[in-house]
Structure 1
Amino acid sequence: MTKTFWKCSDEELKKSNLFNFEDFLKKKYGLKHNNNYEKLWKWTIENSAEFWKSIWEFSNVKGQLGNRLIQFSEIFYKNEFLSDSKLNFTENLLPKNDNSLAATFISENGYKENKTWSDLNVDVIKISKLLREIGIKKNDRIAAYLPNCIETMEAFLASAAIGAIWSSCSPDFGTKGVVERFSQINPKVLFIVDKYFYNGKEINVLSRSKEILKNIPSIKHLIVIPYPGTDISKENLNFKQISVLEWKNILNCEDIHMNFELFEFNHPLAILYSSGTTGKPKCICHRTGGVLLQHIKELYLHCDINPNDKIFYFTTCGWMMWNWLVSSLALKASIVLFDGFPMYKKDDLLVEIANAENITLFGISAKYIDALRKSRITTINKFNLSNLKTICSTGSPLSKDGFNYVYQNIKKDVHLASISGGTDIVSCFVLGNLYQPVISGEIQNKGLGMDVDIFDEKGNSIKNKKGELVCKKPFPSMPLKFWNDEGDKKYKDAYFTKYENIWHHGDYAEIKDSGGFVIYGRSDTTLNPGGVRLGTAEIYSEVEKFDEIIESLVVGQSWDNDIRIILFVILDTKYNLTEELIMKIKKQIKKNASPKHVPYKIFPIKDIPKTKNGKIVELAVKQTIEGDQIKNLEALVNPDSLNQFKNIKKLYE
C-alpha cells in the first residue's frame, strides 16, 4: 500500500514558479491551465522546441535568442537546440552586483567565509582578465584540482566567461586519477589547492604537482590557491617553462570592468568524467546553453527556487551535483558550500548547518540519510529548519525507510524530492515537482521536456513492471561530444547500442500508476538468478533495516551455469554474524522482497569499495570474487578494500 507524505498546499502552489510558467504558456500558446503535471509534461514533449524556447523567455536568459529552435537530425544526439542563439554562461550566473549575500563557504572545522554578489563579480572579472593575459583563448582547457570552496566556483565562472572549457577533480583523487583524466584533454592551466582537510586530518596536495606536471606537459601555468582560512603551504615550485601564480596576486588587479562575449548556444562549457570503474574515464563534454536551460528548468520549475533562497548540496567539484549547485546563482539565490567530512565530530553536522544558515533547499545523498537513520539521530525537535522547503536526495535509490526517516526525524512539512540522472546529462531524468504528492519510495515523475520511459528487453514501453530507463527524444543537455572520440564510437557505445536511436541510460527502474519512478539500481549490477532479473535496491532496503548492520553490498556470483546472490555486510561492532542473524536476514528478505531475492550466502566484511563520489561499486567486487581483472583501481577511494573479497573459501562451496 502506498503512503503519501507531502502535498503542496493550494496557496503555495498558486505562488509557485511552475504555476506561473503554466500561466506564461497559456498566454503565449493558449495552453489550458489545469495544474495537471502529466498533461503539462505531455505538452512539453509534443512541443519540445517551443518548450525550451519558453524556458529561455520565462526565466529571462541574457543573450540573443535566435530563430532556429531545433536543427533536426535523424541521429538522436545530432539534434541541436537553439543553434543560432548566443549567450555567456557566466553573465547569466552573475545576475546581481550588489552587497547582498551570494555565497558562503563552511569547512568541517567551522571556518566560515561569505562573499557578496559585488565581491563575486569583481573576483570573476579579475581572474578572467588574468587568464586572457596569459594567453588563454576560447576552447582552451582549464583544469582544476580544488575543494568545494568559493575560489573554485570563481575560477569556473572566469573560465566560462572567456569561452574556455572547464574540467575539475576534487583533491581526494590521487595523482594517478588526476593524470588519467586531465592528460586526455591537454589543459593549459591547472588551478591547484595547497592542501585540504578531511575528518580532522590535513592532507598535502601541492606536493603532488611535480608528478602531475611531469605527466601532463600541456600545462604551462600553475595557479596555487591556499585552502580557505589558512596560510599557503610552503613548497618548492620552481618548474622549468611553467609559470607559477598565487591566488592572492591575481586578485590584486585593479581593472574590474568587463564586457561579456557571447558564445554559441552549443559552445563547449565543461568536461566531466565517467567514474572509470570499467576502464579509463570517459571525457564527457557538455554544452553551454543546454546545461544552463536544463539547470534553470530543474531549479526554477521543479525545485521552486527563488531570489534570496539559500541552496546547499553536499558534493565535491568532481561530481555533477557541484555544477547543478553553482547554477542556482542564475536564479539570484545564494549558495552554501561545505568541504570536509559530513559527520565530523557530530553525526548531524550538515543538518546543523542547514539550520544555522537558514537553508531553503538541502541537498544530500540517500547514503547520508541512511547514515543518520542508523545513528538514530532525531533533529526534528533539535533544530528549527523553518526556512527549509525542499530536501533533495540523490546518488543512489532512497528506500522507503529513508522517506520515513526524513518525515519523522528531520521535518514533517518538507518537499522530499528524490532525483536521478547522471554525469552523462549533468542533470536529471526524473525528479520532484509541486503538482504531485510525495509517495514513499517513489521519485515523483519525469522531468519536463524529457521523454523518459521504461522499456522491456524488446523495446516495448511497460508500466508497473521493471525494465530499462530510456529517453525517446533528444534534449538540450545531451553531451556535445566525448573528447577524443573518433566517429563518436564511445558516445554511441555508451547510450545507443541496446535500442536503435533511443537513449538507454543503464538504470533498472519502474513506472508506477502514480507516474512516479522507482530506481532499482544500475542495469549492469542487476541480479539474474534462474534467469529472473532482480534489482539490488530491493535487497539493500531490507538488509539495512537491521540495527546490527551498518552497510551492505550484494553481487551475483556466476556458479554452476547460473547466478547466485551473495550478500556482504558491515556489522555494528557490538554484533557478530551468527547463524541466528543470518536466518533473520534471509527471512525478512523472503517476506518483504521475494524468495528469489534471498542470498545464497552471507559474509561479514570491514569495508565496502566506493567511488570518489561515495557510490558502491558492486561490479568490482563481482570481478574480484570471480578472479577477473579490475581495470581501474584508481577510480576507487578505497581500492585496498577489495583484498578482503579474495580467497574466501566458503564462496566456492
Structure 2
Amino acid sequence: MTNDFLWSPKNLKTNLKDYINYLEKNNLHKYESFTKLHKWSIDKKELFWKSIWNYTEIIGDYKNPIIKNKNNFIKSSFFINSKINFTENLLKKDNDEDAIIFYSEQQKSRKISWNELGKQVNNLSSFFKTFGIKKNDRIVGVLPNIPETVISFLATAKIGAIWSSCSADFGTTAIIDRFQQIKPKILIVCDYYYYNNKKIETLSKINEVLNKIKSIKEVIIIPYDVSYKKYKIDFKYINWLSIFKAKNKILKYSKFNFNHPLYILFSSGTTGKPKCIVHSAGGALIQHKKEHILHCNIKNNDKVFYFTTCGWMMWNWLISCLASNATILLYDGSPFFPNNKYLFEIINKEKITFFGTGAKYLDTIRQNNINIINKFSLPNLKTICSTGSPLIHESFNYVYKKIKKNVHLTSISGGTDLVSCLVLGNPNLPVFSGEIQCKGLGMDVAILDQKGRKLKNKKGELVCLSTFPSKPIYFWNDKNNKKIKKAYFSKYKNIWHHGDYAEITKNNGFIIYGRSDATLNASGVRIGTAELYRVVENIKDINECIAAEQKFNNDTRIIMFIKLSNNKTLDNKFEIYIKNEIKRLLSPKHIPSKIFQVDDIPRTKSNKIAEITVKNILNNNKITNLSSLQNPECLKIYRQIKKISL
C-alpha cells in the first residue's frame, strides 16, 4: 500500500533547525539531511549527548565521562560523575504565569502559577524531610490526574526519594501487586474522582492495602475538591491541606548522581506480577528534553495537553514538559463527558499548542464522524501527537479532514521500558499516512529478521542496537539483572529487542504492526495484528476487535473476536462479508478461521488490548494475573467460546 503524503512544514523556524545551526556553529556537525544527522548522533554518541545537555540547558554539575561501558548494553551508563536535581530542572521559572492548568470532566478548572507550584513543592518536600524520608525511600500515590499528583512527584524527586503511582481506578490487588514489591513509606491517595459523570469513592480500598503493605507508615489524603473535611475511616491519616498550613523552611536543591533513581514504572503484569522498572532522573530528563524540544518543537510558554492517567508513562513524559518552560494541562475524567467534543473545547479555549492522546481516542471520534474543524478553529494548535497503539491510515486522514488541516500529526512509539520513544515525529519532515516519521536522535533503531540481519521495506523485529540514557537503570529486586536480560536481551545478543513487529518504509518512516508476541502466524506467514484490526474496525457496525493465534492440527490458525454496535448481531452473512473484506484488502492468509461476537474486549490497566491473555485462553495456558486487566469479568465469554465452539 502506498502511504499518501498528508502534510509538509510551512515554517522551518523550529527548535530542530536552531539545534542544527548550533551544531554547525560549534563545528560539531555539518547538516546535509536528517538521515545523516541521525547517523552522526549514533556514530558520535558522546558528542551528541553532550550537545543535548548543553543545547537544552540542563542545570547540573557536568563532568566526564559521558558514557561508560558503551559497548555493553546492560552495563553501560551515562554521565556517571555528573549531578543534577530533577525538580530544579523542571521549576526554573518563578513567576505568576501558569505552570499547570487543570480541568475535570465536571467542567471545573483551576490554575497554578510557577511561583505557587514552587512553593507547594517546597512545603511538601519539607514535610517529607520532617517525617524522616531519606534519599531512595519510596513514596507512592493512588491518584487521579490532578495538580496535587504533580506536586507529590516533584516534592519526592526534590529530596532524592523515589516516586511511583497507580491510577485511582486501580483495584486493591493491582495496587498491592505493584507497591508491595517496592516497600513504600508514604501512601498518598485522593478521596474520590469522577469518570463518565460518576463520583467514585476510593478510600474504602485503602485498609486492605495497608494490611498487605506493612512498610507504609503514613497516609496522606487529598480532597478532590480542595476543601478541608474529616473522614470517617478506621486508619490514621494526614489531610493534604494541613501540610500547607504550616510554615516550612525553604529547602535548597541538593544535587544527586545523574543515574539516581527517579521513579518506578510497572510492566503490564499480564504474565505474572508487574515488573518494577526503575528509571534514572538524568536519563528521563535528557531524553525527554531531546524529544520535547527537537522532535516535538515544544517552546518556551507553549501549552501542552496530553490526555493520560498517572498510571501510564505518558503522564511522566507530560510532566517533564515543565523542563522546557511549557505550561502543562491536566485533564481528569472521561474524554467523552460532558460531550464528545469537550477536549477540543478545552484545547480551543486554553490556546493549547500541543495535544497528545492515545490512538484509540482518535479512532473512536473518527468512527463517530465527529467534525471538529467546523466547530473549533484551534488557531494555536501546532501539533497533534498519538501513541499507545498504531495510528491507522483512516485516522491520519481524519485528523487533516475533520480536526485541522495545517497541523503536525506525529505518531510516536516507545514504551514504559524506556519512558520515552524509539521512533517519533520531526517538525521539519513531511507526514505520510500510516507512518511514524523518523528514528529518535541518539536512538540506534533498526528492523532485524530472525537471524539478526537488517531489513528495509520488510517486516521484522524493532530493536535498538546500542545504548541510550533512558534505559532502565535496573529492575527492582532483580538480582544479576536476570529479568532485564530476559525482557530485552534474550532474542539478540547485546541488542535491545523491543518486542514490536515493524517495518522501515521507503520514506525512512516506520509502521508498527503490533506486538511481536501477539503476531499471528498463518501457515508460516507472520501477520501483525494492527494491519488486521485496521481493516476490520473500519467495517460499519464493528466497534473493536481482537485476534489471537491458536494451535490447531499441528499448525496454527487465527481466531477473531468482534464487538459490534448496539443491537447488531454477527450472522453468517455478516461473517462472510468480513472475511471477504479481509481477503480483498489484505490477503487470503489474513482471514480468521473463526469469528465470534463478544460484548467487550479485554484491556490492560494502561488501556491496551490484552492479546496475550486471549491467546492464553485459546491455547489452554494459565492466566497468571487477572488484576492487570481493567475488565477481567469479560473473559468469561472467551472461556465459554473456547470450551463450546473451539
Say whether the fold is shared (TM-score over 0.5): yes
Q: 2:499 aligns with which of 506, 513, 535?
A: 506
Tell me the amino acid that sits aligned with residue 82 of structure 2.
Answer: S
Measure the CA separation in 1 of the matches of 2:346 and 2:524.
Answer: 47
The residue matched to 2:526 in structure 1 has which SS?
Answer: coil
Measure the CA separation in 2 of the matches of 1:634 and 1:430.
Answer: 30
Which residue does 1:379 correspond to in 2? 372
The residue matched to 1:640 in structure 2 has which SS?
Answer: helix
Shift of 1:200: 1.3
Q: 2:31 aligns with which of 17, 30, 33?
A: 33
Measure the CA separation in 2 of the matches of 1:632 and 1:4.
Answer: 43
Measure the CA separation in 1 of the matches of 2:342 and 2:586.
Answer: 34
Shift of 1:30: 4.2
1:277 corresponds to 2:270: yes
Q: TM-score, normalised by structure 2?
A: 0.98
Measure the CA separation in 2 of the matches of 1:511 and 1:314.
Answer: 28
Measure the CA separation in 1 of the matches of 2:211 and 2:116.
Answer: 35
The residue matched to 1:223 in structure 2 has which SS?
Answer: strand
Shift of 1:232: 4.4
Contact persistence 1:111–1:229 (CA under 8 A): no
Which residue does 2:335 correspond to in 1? 342
Stretches of structure 1 that go unaligned for 5 or more consecutive residues are: none
1:537 corresponds to 2:538: no
Which residue does 2:422 correspond to in 1? 429
Tell me the amino acid that sits aligned with residue 134 of structure 2.
Answer: K
Contact persistence 1:347–1:375 (CA under 8 A): no
1:227 corresponds to 2:224: yes
Q: 2:76 aligns with which of 75, 79, 84?
A: 79
1:556 corresponds to 2:554: no
Which residue does 1:4 correspond to in 2? 5
Tell me the amino acid that sits aligned with residue 70 of structure 1.
Answer: I
Tell me the amino acid that sits aligned with residue 143 of structure 1.
Answer: V
Tell me the amino acid that sits aligned with residue 644 of structure 1.
Answer: I
1:59 corresponds to 2:56: yes
Q: Which contiguous aligned blocks of 4+ residues in structure 1 show a shift greater than 6 angstroms?
A: none
Which residue does 2:44 correspond to in 1? 47
Contact persistence 1:145–1:192 (CA under 8 A): yes
Measure the CA separation in 2 of the matches of 1:487 and 1:632.
Answer: 25
Measure the CA separation in 2 of the matches of 1:188 and 1:573.
Answer: 47
Contact persistence 1:586–1:599 (CA under 8 A): yes
Contact persistence 1:207–1:235 (CA under 8 A): no
Contact persistence 1:141–1:165 (CA under 8 A): yes
Which residue does 2:214 correspond to in 1? 217
The residue matched to 1:646 in structure 2 has which SS?
Answer: helix
Measure the CA separation in 2 of the matches of 1:112 and 1:345.
Answer: 14
Shift of 1:404: 0.9
Shift of 1:223: 0.9
1:462-473 alignment runs, 5 A limit: 462-473=455-466
Measure the CA separation in 1 of the matches of 2:324 and 2:97.
Answer: 14
Shift of 1:357: 1.5
Which residue does 2:635 correspond to in 1? 642
Shift of 1:647: 2.5
Which residue does 1:24 correspond to in 2? 22
Taking a change above 3 Å as real, the CA distance of residues 650 and 545 of structure 1, as seen in their structure-2 partners, is farther
Measure the CA separation in 2 of the matches of 1:497 and 1:45.
Answer: 23
Q: 1:601 aligns with which of 594, 597, 600?
A: 594
The residue matched to 1:615 in structure 2 has which SS?
Answer: coil
Tell me the amino acid that sits aligned with residue 153 of structure 1.
Answer: V
Measure the CA separation in 2 of the matches of 1:298 and 1:46.
Answer: 19
Tell me the amino acid that sits aligned with residue 406 of structure 2.
Answer: D
Contact persistence 2:295–2:426 (CA under 8 A): yes
1:122 corresponds to 2:123: no
Tell me the amino acid that sits aligned with residue 184 of structure 1.
Answer: Q
Contact persistence 1:273–1:423 (CA under 8 A): yes
Which residue does 1:588 correspond to in 2? 581
Tell me the amino acid that sits aligned with residue 617 of structure 1.
Answer: A
Tell me the amino acid that sits aligned with residue 31 of structure 1.
Answer: H
Measure the CA separation in 2 of the matches of 1:230 and 1:463.
Answer: 58
Shift of 1:439: 0.3
Which residue does 1:610 correspond to in 2? 603
CA RMSD of aligned residues (A): 1.3
Deviation string for 1:380-421 (max 9, x for gaps)? Answer: 110110100000000000000110111111111110000000
Contact persistence 2:500–2:516 (CA under 8 A): yes
Deviates further, 220-229 or 61-70: 220-229
Contact persistence 1:407–1:413 (CA under 8 A): yes
1:207 corresponds to 2:200: no
Q: 1:312 aligns with which of 280, 284, 305?
A: 305
Amino-acid identity (%): 51
Tell me the amino acid that sits aligned with residue 29 of structure 1.
Answer: N
Deviates further, 273-282 or 61-70: 61-70
1:32-431 alignment runs, 5 A limit: 32-34=30-32, 36-72=33-69, 74-229=71-226, 232=229, 234-239=231-236, 244-255=237-248, 257-431=250-424
Stretches of structure 2 that go unaligned for 5 or more consecutive residues are: none
Measure the CA separation in 2 of the matches of 1:44 and 1:28.
Answer: 15
Contact persistence 1:194–1:233 (CA under 8 A): no
Contact persistence 1:95–1:330 (CA under 8 A): yes
Measure the CA separation in 2 of the matches of 1:253 and 1:60.
Answer: 34
Which residue does 2:511 correspond to in 1? 518
Tell me the amino acid that sits aligned with residue 424 of structure 1.
Answer: D
Shift of 1:233: 6.5
